[in-house]
Amino acid sequence: MSYDFIDLFAGIGGMRLAFEPYGRCVFSCEWDTKAQETYEKNFGDKPVGDIKKIDEKAVPGHDILLAGFPCQPFSLAGVSKKKSLGKEHGFLDETQGTLFFDIARILKEKQPQAFLLENVKNLRTHDKGKTFNKIMKVLEEELGYTVYAKVLNAKGLVPQRRERIYIVGFKKPIKFNFPDIPENGPAIISILQKNVDPKYTLSDKLWEYLKSYKEKHSKKGNGFGYGLADLDSFSRTLSARYHKDGSEILIPQKGRNPRKLTPRECARLQGFPDSFEIPVSNTAAYKQFGNSVPVPVVKKVAEQIIHALERNETIQTDIDIKKNAVVD
């Protein structure tokens, strides 16, 4: 069976890569123009822009909604006013003004069979857990989905410690199991290029600065500072700020200062195939891969979502449904 899906907060299409074996993307949305450029180069269609300007009724019908949405503080503006007027307010009202609300209104209008949301691990604890609880209540109580959530670490599939929360929902109360991610995976040396341009090697000035910065914070008992990668292990998490100095993942070099990863190595670190084209500047590419999803992890989750839809094995009791807790 083939499934139509939409790709919200699409970035450069990491989620789309994972789901394309199971169907076709019928709509994509991404506001960043440089990310749109990379997306169009690789998939042949340009995502529409600001999701807040999109009429949910105009979104094509689809079976699965995908969204790696940014986590913003939830705005409670207007709730106090409604209470003072004695009006009831739903959780959807509480999330207006946040980007999650845009996902919720599309889910409400289109009622897809399933969805996959991805976010930073700290979404669980943001605002003492209130943000995550509101999201779950919107998805379960307001929209009627059976929801599963789990933090998965990508380091068993790519050579990078990258913990992210994955939230999976189904319109029907069907059983779902997250994939088992191996504890140990490939080493960072496996993604390195040979004969790297010297421009990626840190200047003496920058290297001395990073060393003194780390030493200063070490004396204060802080762990801030650069990270020199163990080539036989995994790296720290690649972030969107990597373009600034590359300090979180530096590659040691014999007889020379360490170097930054190249954009292609960052693509590999996130599990993108070498056939994935990088048409933008290095600065833009570093931001894009730092903001992206680890593709092999999403592929594993996608496979489980499709299996669950096709098995269509329903949960029998409310007690079973409530067991869908976040698991570390």
CATH number at residue 164: 3.40.50.150
Q: Give the torsion sign (CA, 287, 288, 289, 292).
A: positive
Residue 204 shares a structural domain with residue 58: no
* Span 29-71, pLDDT tens digits: 999 999 999 999 999 999 999 898 999 999 999 999 999 987 5
pLDDT of 192 over the 70 cut: yes
pLDDT for 5? 98
pLDDT for 223? 59
Return the CATH number at 213. Answer: 3.90.120.10
Residue 19 shares a structural domain with residue 120: yes
Q: In the structure, what pLDDT confidence band is assigned to residue 81 with cuts at 50, 70 and 90? A: very low
The total number of structural domains in the chain stands at: 2
Residue 32 shares a structural domain with residue 75: yes
Task: Report whether 56 contacts 105 (CB < 8 A).
Answer: yes
Give me the helices (H) in the chain, please: 14-19, 33-43, 79-84, 91-94, 99-110, 130-137, 204-219, 242-245, 263-269, 282-291, 295-311, 318-321
Q: In the structure, what pLDDT confidence band is assigned to residue 76 with cuts at 50, 70 and 90? A: very low
Out of 25, 29, 71, 266, which one is annotated catalytic? Answer: 71
Residue 203 shares a structural domain with residue 281: yes
Place of tokens 């399933």: 114
Question: Rounded to whole angstroms, how far apart are CA atoms 23 and 16?
Answer: 10
Backbone angles phi, psi at 150, to 5 degrees: -155, 145
pLDDT of 72 over the 60 cut: no
**Residue-number span of the structural domain to which 160 is assigned:** 3-182+292-321
- pTM for the model stands at 0.88
Question: Has 25 been annotated as catalytic?
Answer: no
Residue 161 shares a structural domain with residue 201: no
Residue 274 shares a structural domain with residue 139: no
Q: In the structure, what pLDDT confidence band is assigned to residue 318 with cuts at 50, 70 and 90? A: low
